[in-house]
Amino acid sequence: RAPALRAVERTPGERAKDASSSSGASEISRNLGVNNAVSRGADGDVDASSSLSAHQAPDRGSSGSSPSLADYDEAVYGGADAIHSEKLVPRLERSINALIVKSAVLVIDKLYEGRDYPRFYALETVARVPYFSFLSVLHLYETLGFWRRADYLKVHFAQTMNEFHHLLIMEAMGGDKKFADRFFAQHMAVAYYGMTCLVYLASPRMAYNLSEQVEAHAYHTYDEFLKRNESELKASKPPAIARKYYAEGDLFLFDEFQTGDPSAKGAACAERRRPVIENLYDVFLNVRNDEAEHMKTMQFCQLPGTILRAPSESACVVGDGESKNAQSASNDGDDDDDDGTDATRTCEGLVDCVIRAQDEPTWQAERDGGEEP
């Protein structure tokens, strides 16, 4: 009798096998396997040899393009258009997500027309919700004994704290003064939380893509705001909470959500992103760059055959960086062998479990070296 499927992570061997049949991202997943986080320059974009200041951040928004994993190495990722799978189910998921995001944006734009800071307050109230949902479902899986993936918990918690400080910044700018603005944003966030929990249970890939699209909207919103108000923002003082978060506080969680380029090797000791906060323009520039980091992490989480690693688990250890990373991967992963010949097969989300259950007898027969029943 074939063992029951667990609604958890696939083994590295199974994920690599699935990845080999995917287009675009397949070569990435076979070669990389895990996301070994690296540091980046102060501009928010990965560059191990760069130490640019926040004022020197490249302005990709001017070309209308969005940040993506392809920014790190287009030869590896095949360009921004190759990041996402073109199979039917992933395409359908992205189309549904796009409809959800566009509908929400239409409502928010109408309610907050001409009021930037209340609009940003609403965006940040909603933007942190998916990471709460991810944490809730991951804790549920762990509680039920399905799986443990500490790195996902670490990174998603760090993402919630980053978005939380964005929210504090918008409150400091007066975005939450009106009761109606708070009421709408908070109730929308509650509804969004429940929906995202259900989506993450059914299909983590779809949930990560939904979050990616929300972060993409936030990135372009801040990018346009910076262009329209550059002179005024550079003449304004930053709120105290922004200076404390970006320049004065404990930056462990700030570093932890910036998972970096999975293809980079030997860059874990590079200079970390350290923003310079001298005026309000610097604040919104770094908020925008934070959203770009979230986008890239969400994109990586959608790639087949990959496992997210927290930056703290890939930190530089003098003379022993290789072994530390290898030990981290061993400790955080399942006890299953990498060749996919574990006794219990795994899957990701309810949708994936249903699809993979259809070929369970065939898989069991192949594993045992016998004939298909």
Query: Which CATH number characterizes residue 194's domain?
Result: 1.20.1260.140
Radius of gyration of the chain (CA): 21
Q: How far apart are CA 343 and CA 142, in angstroms?
A: 20
- pTM exceeds 0.85 for this model: no
367 inside domain: no
Q: How many residues in total does the chain contain?
A: 373
What is the total count of domains within the chain? 1
Q: How far apart are CA 321 and CA 156, in angstroms?
A: 24
**pLDDT attached to residue 324:** 39
Angle at which helices 88-111 and 116-127 cross, to 10° = 150
76 inside domain: no
Going by C-alpha positions, the residue among 177, 291, 283, 285 that lies closest to residue 240 is: 283
321 inside domain: no
DSSP label of 46 = -
Question: How many beta carbons lie within 10 A of that of residue 183, not counting itself?
Answer: 10
61 inside domain: no
**pLDDT attached to residue 191:** 93
DSSP label of 3 = P
Paired with 34 in beta bridges are: 307
pLDDT tens-digit readout, 118-134: 999 999 999 899 999 99
Going by C-alpha positions, the residue among 150, 162, 151 that lies closest to residue 211 is: 162
324 inside domain: no
Burial of 92 (0-12, 13-18, 19+ CB in 10 A): exposed
**pLDDT attached to residue 21:** 44
Q: How far apart are CA 289 and CA 162, in angstroms?
A: 11
Burial of 252 (0-12, 13-18, 19+ CB in 10 A): exposed
Q: How far apart are CA 258 and CA 194, in angstroms?
A: 26
| Residue numbers of the chain with a pLDDT score lower than 50 | 1-12, 14-63, 262-263, 265-269, 316-344, 372-373
Q: How far apart are CA 79 and CA 81, in angstroms?
A: 6
CA dihedral (188, 194, 199, 205) positive or negative = positive
List the domain range (segments joined by +) for residue 152.
Answer: 84-261+271-301
335 inside domain: no
**pLDDT attached to residue 36:** 38
**pLDDT attached to residue 357:** 62
Contacts of 358 (CB under 8 A, 6+ apart): none
Q: How far apart are CA 154 and CA 313, in angstroms?
A: 10
pLDDT tens-digit readout, 12-50: 454 444 444 444 444 444 344 444 333 333 343 433 333
Question: How many beta carbons lie within 10 A of that of residue 360, not counting itself?
Answer: 14
Q: How far apart are CA 307 and CA 151, in angstroms?
A: 9
Contacts of 143 (CB under 8 A, 6+ apart): none
